[in-house]
Structure 1
Amino acid sequence: MTTALTADIIDLLSGLTPGDELARLRDLRAQARENAQLSFVALLEPENPGQFSLAERYAVALFVAQLHGFADAEAFYADVLGDEAPALVDLLTGPDGLAAHAAASGPSGSYREPGLHEESTAARAWTPDEADTAALGERLAAALAHAHLLVIRPREASPAALGALVDAGWSADDIVSLSQLIAFLTFQLRAAWGLRAVAGSAPGGAAAPADPALPVVASGESSAGQVSVAASALITEYPDLSRPEAFTQQGLGWVPWLAPVAEADLAADQLDALVDPARAKMPYFRLLARDPAALRARTLTDLDIFFNVTGGVGRAERELAATAASRHNGCVFCASVHSAAATRESGRRDDVQRLLDEGVGADLGSDSWNAIVSASVALTNTPLSFGETDVRGLRDAGLGDAEIIDVVNGAAFFNWANRLMLSLGEPELPAKRVEQ
Structure 2
Amino acid sequence: MTDIITMLIDAPSAETLRAARPQARDNAQEAFEALVEGEILPPGVGYDLALIVARSAGVDKAVEFYADLAVEEPAVENPALRAARQWAWQLATRPASANALDVADLARQGWTPDQVVAMAQLIGFVAFQVRVIHGLRVLAGASDSEGSGEPAVEPTFTVPTYPGMHRPAHFVAHSLGWRPWVPPAENLTEEQRAALIKPEREKSEYFRLLARDPRALRARTLTDLDIFYNTEGGLGRAERELAATVASRLNGCVYCASVHAGRAIQESQREADIHRLLDEGVAADLGSPQWNALRDAARALTNTPVSFDSGHVAALRAVGFGDLAVVDAINSTAFFQWANRLMLGLGEPELPRRFR
TMscore range, shorter length: over 0.9
2:341 aligned residue: 419
Q: Which runs of 5+ in 1 are unaligned?
A: 1-5, 89-134, 212-227
2:99 maps to 158
Describe the SS at the equivalent of 1:258. Answer: coil
Q: Which one has more relative contact order, counting CA pairs under 8 Å at least 6 apart?
A: 2
Aligned counterparts of 2:157 and 2:65: Cα–Cα separation in 1: 38
Write the mapping of 1:23-422 to structure 2, written as runs, cut at 5 A: 23-46=15-38, 49-50=39-40, 52-85=41-74, 136-205=77-146, 231=155, 233-262=157-186, 265-422=187-344
- In structure 2, what residue type is equivalent to 1:335? A
Question: Per the alignment, in what secondary structure is the counterpart of residue 354 of structure 1?
Answer: helix
Supply the AA of the counterpart residue of 1:69.
G
Matched residue type, 1:32: A
Q: With structure 2 as the length reference, what TM-score do the two structures score? A: 0.96
The equivalent residue for 1:125 is: none
Q: What one-letter code is carried by the residue in structure 2 that aligns with 1:42?
A: A
CA distance 1:209–1:35, shift in 2 (3 Å) = closer
Task: Check conservation: 1:187, 1:416, Cα contact below 8 A.
Answer: yes
* Residue aligned with 2:44, SS: helix
> Displaced runs of 4+ in structure 1, greater than 3 A?
206-211, 230-233
Q: CA deviation at 1:234?
A: 2.2
Deviation by residue 1:372-412 (Cα, 9 ceiling, x = unmatched): 01100100011122111111111111111000010000000
1:433 CA drift (Å):
2.2
CA contact (8 A) 2:132 2:331 kept: yes
RMSD of aligned Cα (Å): 1.7
- Check the 8 A contact 2:108/2:156 in 1, yes or no: no
Residue 387 to residue 396, structure 1, CA distance change in 2 (3 Å): same
Structure 1 distance, partners of 2:123, 2:327, is: 22
Q: Partners of 1:8 and 1:388 in 2: how far apart?
A: 24
Q: Which residue of 2 aligns with 1:123?
A: none
CA contact (8 A) 1:242 1:428 kept: yes
AA at the equivalent of 2:69: V
Q: Which amino acid aligns with 2:135?
A: G
Any conservation in 1 of the 2:58–2:148 contact (CA below 8 Å)? no
Post-superposition CA distance 1:176-207 (Å, at most 9, x none): 00110011000000011100010122252256
Name the count of aligned residue pairs: 356
1:12 and 2:4 matched = no
Deviation at residue 54 of structure 1 after TM alignment? 2.8
**How many Å separate the matches in 2 of 1:161 and 1:257?**
10
Q: Report the alpha carbon displacement of residue 303 of structure 1 after superposing the two structures with TM.
A: 0.6
SS of equivalent to 1:163? helix
In structure 2, what is the Cα distance between the partners aligned to 1:210 and 1:288? Answer: 28
The one-letter amino acid paired with 1:249 is A
Q: Which residue identity does 1:393 align to in structure 2?
A: A
Cα 1:309–1:397 change in 2 (3 A) is same
Cα deviation code 1:31-71 (max 9, x no counterpart): 1111000000101222xx14x12311111111221222122
Are the equivalent residues in 2 in contact too, given 1:247–1:357 (CA < 8 A)? yes
* TM-score, normalised by the number of residues in structure 1: 0.79
